[in-house]
Amino acid sequence: MVRYEKGHKDETRRHILDVASAQFHESGIAAVGLAGIMSEAGLTNGAFYTHFESKEDLVREVLLDALSRREERHKDNLENGVELVTTIREYLSPHHRDSAGTGCPTAALVAEVARHPKTTRDAFTGKISDIIALMAAQIRQGSSGERRRKAIAIYATMVGALQLSRAVNDRQLSEEILEDAVEAAVNLARGR
């Protein structure tokens, strides 16, 4: 029997999550198989079940992990006084558009998540609600209800524009989509 150092199982699980996340972001959940994930991770298919019950369990964990990281960025921004406008500009940048593998899981996977089981959608919904609340906290004008409505509109604009900018094959149109969405989202954030 092979003995592993303490923490090996956690490191292996983290590695599988990272590989799966990049593959899901780049190719979509449905197009990625467990064999491809485990091969890229340098592990056997059988090792998968030591860490996850099923592909759906992996999908849910990837979403929770990636959205938790994004949530932490929003918390850090709020605690450090970073304006929502900065977040909008970074999110709707050509760099983010061109980095689907490491970018926002919402923009990369939202259409597929809508077709997943309730448990996965519940996890996704909880994290999205948390992110929206953090964005609303960065908006300084209006009642809490008005700030929440603006945050939802801003987030929806950001996600939709990023998806659209990635989907079109006309680079100039893609740039216009990003620039115009930045303007619209910034105007909402500033109460215009």
Q: Are the CB atoms for 55 and 37 separated by under 8 Å? A: no
DSSP string, 31-77: T--HHHHHHHHT--HHHHHHH-SSHHHHHHHHHHHHHHHHHHHHHHH
Residue 2 has pLDDT above 60, yes or no: no
Q: Are the CB atoms for 58 and 20 separated by under 8 Å? A: yes
What angle separates helix 84-91 from helix 55-79, to the nearest 10 degrees? 140
Report CA-CA distances (Å) from 62 to 15, 65, 105, 134, 160. 11, 5, 9, 21, 21
pLDDT at 52: 95
pLDDT at 87: 94
Q: Encode pLDDT of 35-83 as tens digits.
A: 999 999 999 998 999 999 999 999 999 999 999 999 999 899 889 989 9
Identify the architecture of domain 8-189 in CATH: Orthogonal Bundle (1.10)
pLDDT at 5: 67
* Percent over 70 (pLDDT), the chain: 96
User: Regarding predicted confidence, which is higher, 167 or 8?
Assistant: 167
pLDDT at 191: 83
* Percent over 90 (pLDDT), the chain: 84
Is 192 exposed, middle or buried, given 0-12, 13-18 or 19+ CB atoms closer than 10 A?
exposed
CB contact burial 127-157 (16+ within 10 A = b; e otherwise): bbebbbebbbbbbeeeeeeebbbbbbebbeb
Q: Encode pLDDT of 82-128 as tens digits.
A: 999 999 999 999 999 999 888 898 999 999 999 999 999 999 999 99
- The domain segmentation of the chain, as residue ranges, is 8-189
How far is CA 88 from its chain centroid? 14
pLDDT at 32: 95
Amino acid in position 171: R
pLDDT at 6: 65
